[in-house]
Amino acid sequence: MKKEPITGKIHSFESFGTVDGPGVRFVVFMQGCAFRCLYCHNPDTFDLNHAAYELTPLEVLQKMQKFMPYYKHGGITVSGGEPLLQPQFVKELFRICKAEGIHTAIDTAGCYLGDDVKEALNHTDLVLLDVKCIDPTIHLALTRKPLQPTLDFANYLSEQRIPTWIRYVLVPGFTDSDDLIERHAQFVSGLTNVTKVEILPFHKMGSIKYETLGLEYALKETIPPSEERIENAKNIYRNKGIEVN
Ligand code: SF4
């Protein structure tokens, strides 16, 4: 019987991404996510069955070809949605990218750690890992998913010494207390492989999408953090010797 080619369900592409990893990057936003982060600015990626594209890894690589010289000091990032919901596709895409000498990065919430995911990580140069809150109860309230799988994922990356940037969304009323940031920084400082923490201030730029999709936007009354609170958070990591964006 003929083997079906692996395809990925994809929401969209960005040819000149500059915020999802080092250098200029081709960003593939994968469709589908099991989390329901209250602040998510990509709710249109939630449903795996609403992909704009269904492409093979080779077809994605071909989309990069036109701009390849720009990716020389950058590479490819798969984001989402949750890219590791489709690990076989990511594994094959990264395998062929590595064969072309392209730097590979995954932006993930780190909630899956099956064999396919581990194999995809074997072809990954950098993980951008969102550890959304260090308190299990608040994590559940904020994302609708438990924290422990993400901690297990972070510890696996650390054991394997896979270079990682940790991302932390600073959400007033959820993740911005000094105590929570201290505990988060404490966890990060125990990992062997983290080269940077990125503090991402909460914003409401995706709220219009919720209206369009007929979904409730729970954080409409939440105000983005002040410059002072952002700097305060950064200093907590710096005081533990961690580089911050
Ligand atoms: S994990 Fe990312 S894509 Fe999924 S709901 Fe949270 S912010 Fe949105």
Q: How far is the CA of 165 from the centre of ligand 1 (A)?
A: 17
Average pLDDT of the segment spanning 137-161: 98
Using most ligand atoms within 8 A of CB, pick from 9, 10, 41, 45 the residue to mutate for ligand 1: 45
Q: How far is the CA of 182 from the centre of ligand 1 (A)?
A: 23
Contacts of range 211-220, beta carbons closer than 8 Å, 24 or more positions apart: 213/43, 213/44, 215/43, 218/38, 219/38, 219/39, 219/171
Give percent of the chain above pLDDT 70.
100
107-118 pLDDT, tens digit per residue, is 999 999 999 999
Tell which atom from ligand 1 comes closest to the C-alpha of 36: 5
Residues 163, 126: contact at Cβ < 8 Å? Answer: yes
Check residue 4 and give its pLDDT.
Answer: 83
- The binding-site residues of ligand 1, defined as CB within 6 angstroms of any ligand atom, are 33, 35-37, 40, 42, 45, 80-82, 109
Domains in the chain: boundaries: 8-238
**Type of residue found at 79:** S
Question: Measuring from atom 2 of ligand 1, which residue has the nearest CA?
Answer: 81
Alpha-carbon distance of 21 to 200, in angstroms, equals 14
Q: How far is the CA of 130 from the centre of ligand 1 (A)?
A: 9
Q: How far is the CA of 143 from the centre of ligand 1 (A)?
A: 8
175: confidence class by pLDDT, cuts 50, 70, 90: very high
193-236 pLDDT, tens digit per residue, is 999 999 999 999 889 999 999 999 999 999 999 999 999 999 99
74-88 pLDDT, tens digit per residue, is 999 999 999 999 999
Q: Which fold has domain 8-238?
A: TIM Barrel (3.20.20)
Spell out the alpha helix ranges (H) of the chain. 57-65, 87-99, 115-122, 136-143, 148-160, 178-189, 207-213, 227-238
**Threshold 0.75, pTM exceeds:** yes
Check residue 210 and give its pLDDT.
Answer: 95
Higher pLDDT, 49 or 1: 49
1: confidence class by pLDDT, cuts 50, 70, 90: low
Contacts of 222 (CB under 8 A, 6+ apart): 39, 171, 172, 173, 202, 204
55-105 pLDDT, tens digit per residue, is 999 999 999 999 999 999 999 999 999 999 999 999 999 999 999 999 999
- Average per-residue pLDDT in the chain? 97
